[in-house]
Structure 1
Amino acid sequence: MTKQNDADVAFIQALAELLNTNDLTEVEVKREYGENDRLNVRVSKAQDIVQTVAAPAPVAAAPAAAPAAAAPVAADSAAPADPHNDPNAVPSPMVGTAYLSAEPGAATFVKVGDSVEEGQTLMIIEAMKTMNHIPSPKSGTIKRILVDDGTPVEFGAPLMIIE
């Protein structure tokens, strides 16, 4: 193996370790070393996530891209079974760790039943040691909170339902 190939293998192993230690399901990296020299790596793992449904129904595995942290914290019985398809879902704008309050022990930014205004902070997502406030995309009422405090979230994962 060449020196660059050894480095590439070590890089791919580091990505796999990052995947496991941060409970991610997929990581993709594209590197360009020169005009005709590039490395495209996509490391993913399949996860079977079983969703509990209130009414008797066949239990199906969720898509591999769904984070393990997507278990509902508070559920509305009339809510759609899959929050990914809910038009009122607030998607995560980034990969990171979700925090429902400004600091440990503090009151949460919002709770189920709260009325929120557009732009109001719903939660914080920590990404690369930076705390990113996640604003409400619209005014409405919090119907469901789909993540737990301190859990990892993926890009596009539903965080909350606002109606």
Structure 2
Amino acid sequence: MSRLLVDADAIRALAEILTETGLTEIEIAEKDNRIRVVRAAAGALHAVPAAPVATAAAPAAAMPVDPAKHPGAVTSPMVGVAYLTPDPGSPPFVTEGQSVTAGQTLMLIEAMKTFNQIKAPRAGTLKTLLVASGDPVEFGEALAIIE
């Protein structure tokens, strides 16, 4: 009978990385040892023993759709922090379900202490806002969907 050795320090370090980065799952593997730490929905952390997992190709319909590939996607032109209001006490520039016109400000992205307006590239209805105020955004990340 083999005995499972648990490296509590490694689990704590991985849990700390999850907390710092906002990730929901992390796994490390070294030779025959694996440690996987998963954040539960309520924010609790669980160490899950990783076992070999057989993967099967999922049908194309089950694959998640990349919002950046949506024809109505408004993508971030830069890395920064998104803000949906001009200042903390003001109402948002736009809300989901609202009609927008081409050139209308949807949000701001702060990059290097400069606030850059993100404008609607076309008229339509704002179907979905994909970011919240204060969220960090990456270049090319989908920010909103206009249909």
TM-score range (shorter-chain normalised) is 0.5 to 0.7
Structure 2 gaps, min length 5 = 1-19, 23-55, 59-63
Percent of residue pairs bearing the same amino acid type: 57
Query: Any idea what the Cα deviations from partners look like across 1:46-70, whole Å, max 9, x if unmatched?
Result: xxxxxxxxxxxx9x9xxxxxxxxxx
Q: Please, which of 118, 134, 143 is the counterpart of residue 150 of structure 1?
A: 134
Give the 3-state SS of the residue equivalent to 2:81 in structure 1: strand
Query: Which structure: larger Rg?
Result: 2
Residues 1:118 and 2:92 are matched in the alignment: no
Structure 1 residue 81: deviation in Å?
A: 3.5
Q: What is the total number of aligned residue pairs between the two structures?
A: 90
Q: CA RMSD in A?
A: 2.5
> Contact between 1:22 and 1:152, CA under 8 Å: does it hold in 2?
no
When residues 86 and 108 of structure 1 are mapped into structure 2, their CA distance, relative to the original with a 3 A threshold, is same
2:117 alignment counterpart? 133
Structure 1 gaps, min length 5 = 1-20, 24-57, 61-79
Q: Please, which of 77, 98, 104 is the counterpart of residue 93 of structure 1?
A: 77
Q: TM-score, normalised by structure 1?
A: 0.51
> Could you say which structure has the greater relative contact order, defined with CA pairs below 8 angstroms and 6 or more residues apart?
1
Q: TM-score, normalised by structure 2?
A: 0.56
Structure 1 residue 141: deviation in Å?
A: 0.3
